[in-house]
Structure 1
């Protein structure tokens, strides 16, 4: 695109703001080179980068770019064999460290919390180069000075330097004390890198040595006393050795840096890209901008869009739709109404979006990718070139018309202005026809009343205006799509006090067609205002209804919670009463059993009585689970063999078949019936158990052990299990079985022995022998 368009649409000012958000000199340099892309895939990639960086900033705050500097000049020098100074080496180490910190920061971001694949892929390319960083830091401190430990030789040289300096100072300090009257000031200073004393002119011969300098008045001579000349010579020699050793160390470091040149160059490229991406995200955050969805069909659909360079508290947000039902918008209306701002807003938002920047509008906005954005905005009259306003506009329009195509966005401000109104209006319509026929997207502003009817006579063209408040005599800056602008001259004049007779006389002088157009516009404006009022009323009613719905939902939830609490409390009370009654009944039964001494009641009759007692307890249904079942039964899955409750009958049964139409066949006792899935609640599902043979009797299909262990069982459960076991043992053909009941209190042993006396298939019973378990076992002889 022509860079001239950047200035016309203030895109260069947006770039300046972007530069301020870059954290490094690398990012600032890249931001200054920003330009729009014209390929949809590239623009979508840029927008995805900015969006992902924005998510990181929103969730984690500032991104660490500290220590990263522009080391490209240093890398070029080492590439050609140059030697870097200590400060340059330190900058390379700090840049390596900064890249490592940035990589660690991104890698520690939770992948489930935020999806940033592009950012992760970029930071994954940063080479850590820890060895090179450590090597540089071991030689150079944070202030850019070569450390003593950079080499053993340097350490020895510096020790020698410090020793000589100490010897010199000791001797000179002694002289300052003993001959202070001969000195201009009792201090030790340095001239030409050698330690000297400030000696008064008249005492020059008292010290001997070398004169290195004198004061401006000539009264003070800076003399290196003879007693320290030799030591100063040794010091100078040591410093020369130090310099040579430092140069050797820096040369070695530069060579090491040179071997890593490709990796460092790649790191600089990646760090520049990342800083540039996060700068775009920071700019979008400062503008409260949104990520636009890009297209190549020329569709522009932005809601509540604001010009990014205007004060947010003062600018009026507007909705703009272009490229679907119509390809051109003609905006009419008075000056200072905001027409030019609207043109620049659309053009600037397009350039920003194609550059990967977010736009200040609501989420869900759509913008198109254009090959070119053309604009003729403002008065470019040139005295030097002898061009009038009309000529300067036409010069630009001619250039535009030569290049415009279906992939162009064209912005005309005051099209046809600066010449005879009739000719200008006709020319404006002809230009619009030409651009519209080229299928370009066009927005044009004009004062000409003839163009108000243009949108009604052309397919793909729509009128628009900027609203003006006649009462306050101020524009509201609201863009009204579909409504042409009114001149409002008569209304404004009346508000300003012009006599009504003059106003009426003026109205009589305007043409009939103009009156009809004005009446039509007034009617449209009235209808629009009424529609807006109706919309506001409907919106208010909807909000009230939603608020009422939310309140009712909360009240219902509160009611359900209270009901469940009362259910639970009632059931807990009833359960306690039942437990108490069961305990008392158990104690009574036990007392009666002890009084009977085995007289008339059989043990199995006691067990049966106890079972009936348990069954007499009311079945407390958890209402919460029942209610939940009513709501979720449709979501349950059932299988053949499941025990279910038929909610409509409040009866339990077993599923025997499941039909394709969700009708389920349930057997309740001897009765079989079809039930809808929603009317069932799952009670129990038996997991299939593959029985392993415990013992096999030849010729028999019954598998049972020759012994039964009842230890740990409840009394009544143990006797019920014993009865089933004896039946199985008889069918299995056993002649003798062993019942293990343990010693304990003896109650279970008595029950087992009483059971043996009353069972017709038990010939005899006896206590187990010493090798069989003793009194903890009873042996049955079966018939």
Structure 2
């Protein structure tokens, strides 16, 4: 049992319905009921979370277009002929259904729960394609809906044109113009007529169809148009019959698929209903609550969803861990009832799969029942706000409640003698305490405050009252009872001062002033403590915000650095490719321009150049954030530096003004001095060792016969383990070297494997003009694992 009416849950459902995009989804919202099954509640909340994530991240949403086709499907099953509008609604709904299926099948990993609703959906292509041939984009029946309809509408159009032509001839005949009231074409009884003046009736041959209100005009069908009008009427009747036949045919088609259509409509509407819950969460700035494993309540900065956002005061409500009954005291109109309703209403929303207006981390249990007796002017009629009415409600709750229920009682024991009311209220609280029921109770009785102080499992709380402004702040504080502040509120409302002062005197005589003073002092201390806590929380939130901002800036900096390093690497690779292309061009010119004279020397130079080009690379220094940018005074010739723009280490060759020439692995580059950074000792030593190794060694003079030189050139290359791209580069360089060495037959060892490497090499060989032909090697030469190549 859930006291939805008392807690105004219907208003939440109405607000939810306003966010739903279809009639059926709105009906689902209004019929929403709280659940008690944990798995179903969690699934409903997780569905809402998926819809919320989709609504906030997806550019196109899978919503819109769904119509209520349930009645049309039911009528089709009874062989009713559906109207054009009903059939058009089916067509529109199928389109919406297909868009939703397409969306969630593509987004299954992102929205698994919602996607499950789109699994095993029936195929509606046949119905959709038939309806698509019948209707235009505005839902009007196309002429091409059937051949007969096209013919009839063509006849209607031509006949109307002939009639209008003949009427225009009659109207513009000079001899007839004096007969006409107006030179216009009009219709009566679906037949074309001409308005003729009453006094000229006998001069105009035709059939009278109507008379004007004044009697001055007769609407006459000229005799020469009778036959054409008859033809038009016959064609219009034929059209009407053909349209009815088409609607009957389509209604029968819908009947065949009515079960699938109803099922699809229900599932699509459920998705739209879930998106309605997501949009409600956005409107209320609500979050998903965590379901308590036990019976603990921990609402943080919870807000009553029906109080305007600019006036509602967030409140914290804790219940169930150290105490199961929370007794709330404090001033009238201070927010006691709102606190009770907030817990009850948010619990109903949570168990209905709705997000709650509170902070992340809020926890709610699953209640089997929620009982509420809130009987003031905010919820029930004044005629029921009596002790009897309250007690009737409480008795019913006592009979039906259990340990897994929530009970909310407003002004327990009120409406009767205070002494008896207090005693009765204490006894009722003791009953619920022993039963283990979770409760929130509001009261003004000091006896109940005292009972809570001395009883385990019950905690005092109060709504704050600002003694300086004499106004309630509506904040709930747990741990200390509060005063009703009736005298202060009465004075603020305008009660004469002498009456208020006399009341304070009587209050002192009654002996309650001392306790009130203690409560006032405690509440003031609590107020100051709360202010300090809010200030500390504000500072903590600001610290977290700044930390988050620093983390984001650090991430952006790292991303930018990665992009800069990637660009530098790409530039270096581009320079490498340019150098290689330029070198190859020079070698080709040398080969083409020079004769056989000094062939040995040229061949040696070309091979050395090609070897140098193939070894060109830009050394990458490890990323070091401790490097310092060098000034022009800190740079010297022979110094090892790091070039930021090339992301490389090099040695300074010369300095001219603000520009420095640096040797990078045999390549010189001129850069600005602000592109140079310091290096480590290990980096400097490595570059110096590499420079020493690169110095030319003393060689013997080249000599020997051509046969000896030919042996220096390889006749076989092994490319096992290389990719196709790597193999193409290796084979191209190998063939060039063979040609320069005078070799006319070579072997490429590529292995068998999957055959992909062999096929890639063969395709490349077909593109080389210097290859005469090639073939798979013989059995004793490696067979399919090698290829013999004959060069031109």
- What secondary structure is seen at the aligned counterpart in 1 of 2:134? coil
Q: Give yes or no for the alignment of 1:159 onto 2:154.
A: yes
Deviates more, 1:518-527 or 1:74-83: 518-527
CA shift digits 1:123-177 (9 cap, x unpaired): 3454452332221121122333221111111111111111211111111111112
How far apart in 2 are the matches of 1:717 and 1:254?
Answer: 100
Aligned counterpart in structure 2 of residue 366 of structure 1, from 338, 363, 377: 363
Describe the shift of the 1:332–1:716 C-alpha distance in structure 2 as closer, same or farther (beyond 3 A).
Answer: same
1:208 Cα deviation from its structure 2 partner: 2.7
1:23 Cα deviation from its structure 2 partner: 0.7
Aligned counterpart in structure 1 of residue 77 of structure 2, from 76, 79, 92: 79
Matches within 5 A, 1:9-28: 9-28=7-26
Deviates more, 1:207-216 or 1:220-229: 207-216
Please tell me whether the aligned partners of residues 710 and 742 of structure 2 are also in contact (alpha carbons under 8 angstroms).
Answer: no
1:202 Cα deviation from its structure 2 partner: 2.6
2:321 corresponding residue in structure 1: 324
Q: Give yes or no for the alignment of 1:394 onto 2:391.
A: yes
Aligned counterpart in structure 1 of residue 458 of structure 2, from 457, 461, 471: 461
2:54 corresponding residue in structure 1: 56
Aligned counterpart in structure 2 of residue 91 of structure 1, from 89, 92, 112: 89
Aligned counterpart in structure 2 of residue 150 of structure 1, from 141, 145, 148: 145
Matches within 5 A, 1:561-580: 563-566=626-629, 571-572=640-641, 576-577=650-651
1:621 corresponding residue in structure 2: 682
CA shift digits 1:548-581 (9 cap, x unpaired): 98999999x99x987424489874179755779x
2:43 corresponding residue in structure 1: 45
Aligned counterpart in structure 2 of residue 263 of structure 1, from 254, 260, 263: 260
Describe the shift of the 1:539–1:257 C-alpha distance in structure 2 as closer, same or farther (beyond 3 A).
Answer: closer
Describe the shift of the 1:57–1:393 C-alpha distance in structure 2 as closer, same or farther (beyond 3 A).
Answer: same
Please tell me whether the aligned partners of residues 379 and 392 of structure 1 are also in contact (alpha carbons under 8 angstroms).
Answer: no
- What secondary structure is seen at the aligned counterpart in 1 of 2:172? helix
Describe the shift of the 1:432–1:501 C-alpha distance in structure 2 as closer, same or farther (beyond 3 A).
Answer: closer
Structure label with greater radius of gyration: 1
CA shift digits 1:413-470 (9 cap, x unpaired): 1111110000001111111111222221111101111111121222211011000001
How far apart in 2 are the matches of 1:548 and 1:91?
Answer: 54
1:272 Cα deviation from its structure 2 partner: 1.1
- Measured on the aligned residues, the alpha-carbon RMSD in Å equals 3.9
Matches within 5 A, 1:187-586: 187-295=184-292, 297-379=294-376, 389-488=386-485, 505-506=505-506, 508-511=508-511, 514-515=512-513, 517-532=515-530, 534-535=532-533, 563-566=626-629, 571-572=640-641, 576-577=650-651
Taking structure 2 as the reference length, what is the TM-score of the superposition?
Answer: 0.68
How far apart in 2 are the matches of 1:145 and 1:468?
Answer: 67
How far apart in 1 are the matches of 2:642 and 2:536?
Answer: 52
Aligned counterpart in structure 2 of residue 101 of structure 1, from 87, 99, 105: 99
CA shift digits 1:566-618 (9 cap, x unpaired): 489874179755779xx99xx9xxxxxxxxxxxxxxxxxxxxxxxxxxxxxx9
1:49 Cα deviation from its structure 2 partner: 0.9
1:251 Cα deviation from its structure 2 partner: 1.6
Describe the shift of the 1:572–1:294 C-alpha distance in structure 2 as closer, same or farther (beyond 3 A).
Answer: same
- What secondary structure is seen at the aligned counterpart in 1 of 2:236? helix
How far apart in 2 are the matches of 1:385 and 1:515?
Answer: 32
How far apart in 1 are the matches of 2:488 and 2:436?
Answer: 39
CA shift digits 1:678-707 (9 cap, x unpaired): xxxxxxxxxxxxxxxxxxxxxxxxxxxxxx
Tell me, which stretches of 5 or more residues in structure 1 are unaligned? Answer: 588-617, 626-712, 720-736, 744-770, 774-783
CA shift digits 1:195-219 (9 cap, x unpaired): 1111222322333332211112222
- What secondary structure is seen at the aligned counterpart in 1 of 2:474? strand
Q: Give yes or no for the alignment of 1:8 onto 2:3.
A: no
1:740 Cα deviation from its structure 2 partner: 7.0
1:337 Cα deviation from its structure 2 partner: 0.5
Describe the shift of the 1:739–1:62 C-alpha distance in structure 2 as closer, same or farther (beyond 3 A).
Answer: closer
Q: Give yes or no for the alignment of 1:141 onto 2:136.
A: yes
1:315 Cα deviation from its structure 2 partner: 0.9
Describe the shift of the 1:543–1:119 C-alpha distance in structure 2 as closer, same or farther (beyond 3 A).
Answer: closer
Describe the shift of the 1:385–1:145 C-alpha distance in structure 2 as closer, same or farther (beyond 3 A).
Answer: closer
How far apart in 2 are the matches of 1:508 and 1:517?
Answer: 10
How far apart in 2 are the matches of 1:551 and 1:142?
Answer: 51
How far apart in 1 are the matches of 2:742 and 2:100?
Answer: 78
Describe the shift of the 1:550–1:406 C-alpha distance in structure 2 as closer, same or farther (beyond 3 A).
Answer: closer
- What secondary structure is seen at the aligned counterpart in 1 of 2:627? helix
CA shift digits 1:249-300 (9 cap, x unpaired): 1222222222222221111011110111000110011000000112363322
How far apart in 1 are the matches of 2:197 and 2:507?
Answer: 104
Please tell me whether the aligned partners of residues 490 and 500 of structure 2 are also in contact (alpha carbons under 8 angstroms).
Answer: no
Describe the shift of the 1:94–1:505 C-alpha distance in structure 2 as closer, same or farther (beyond 3 A).
Answer: closer
Describe the shift of the 1:544–1:196 C-alpha distance in structure 2 as closer, same or farther (beyond 3 A).
Answer: closer
- What secondary structure is seen at the aligned counterpart in 1 of 2:153? helix
CA shift digits 1:315-374 (9 cap, x unpaired): 110100111111111111120101011111111101111111111000111112212111
Describe the shift of the 1:415–1:546 C-alpha distance in structure 2 as closer, same or farther (beyond 3 A).
Answer: closer
Please tell me whether the aligned partners of residues 380 and 393 of structure 1 are also in contact (alpha carbons under 8 angstroms).
Answer: no
1:517 Cα deviation from its structure 2 partner: 3.5
How far apart in 1 are the matches of 2:289 and 2:319?
Answer: 15
How far apart in 1 are the matches of 2:265 and 2:410?
Answer: 44
How far apart in 1 are the matches of 2:549 and 2:63?
Answer: 49
How far apart in 1 are the matches of 2:547 and 2:25?
Answer: 51
1:105 Cα deviation from its structure 2 partner: 3.7
Please tell me whether the aligned partners of residues 640 and 651 of structure 2 are also in contact (alpha carbons under 8 angstroms).
Answer: no
Q: Give yes or no for the alignment of 1:66 onto 2:135.
A: no
Taking structure 1 as the reference length, what is the TM-score of the superposition?
Answer: 0.69
How far apart in 2 are the matches of 1:379 and 1:335?
Answer: 11
Describe the shift of the 1:566–1:182 C-alpha distance in structure 2 as closer, same or farther (beyond 3 A).
Answer: same
Describe the shift of the 1:294–1:562 C-alpha distance in structure 2 as closer, same or farther (beyond 3 A).
Answer: closer
1:403 Cα deviation from its structure 2 partner: 0.8
Please tell me whether the aligned partners of residues 77 and 255 of structure 2 are also in contact (alpha carbons under 8 angstroms).
Answer: yes
How far apart in 2 are the matches of 1:159 and 1:252?
Answer: 22
How far apart in 1 are the matches of 2:213 and 2:196?
Answer: 14
Please tell me whether the aligned partners of residues 382 and 388 of structure 1 are also in contact (alpha carbons under 8 angstroms).
Answer: no
Deviates more, 1:16-25 or 1:493-502: 493-502
Matches within 5 A, 1:553-702: 563-566=626-629, 571-572=640-641, 576-577=650-651, 620-622=681-683
Please tell me whether the aligned partners of residues 66 and 269 of structure 2 are also in contact (alpha carbons under 8 angstroms).
Answer: no
How far apart in 1 are the matches of 2:28 and 2:379?
Answer: 35
Deviates more, 1:249-258 or 1:147-156: 249-258
Matches within 5 A, 1:705-744: none
Please tell me whether the aligned partners of residues 284 and 359 of structure 1 are also in contact (alpha carbons under 8 angstroms).
Answer: yes
1:37 Cα deviation from its structure 2 partner: 1.1
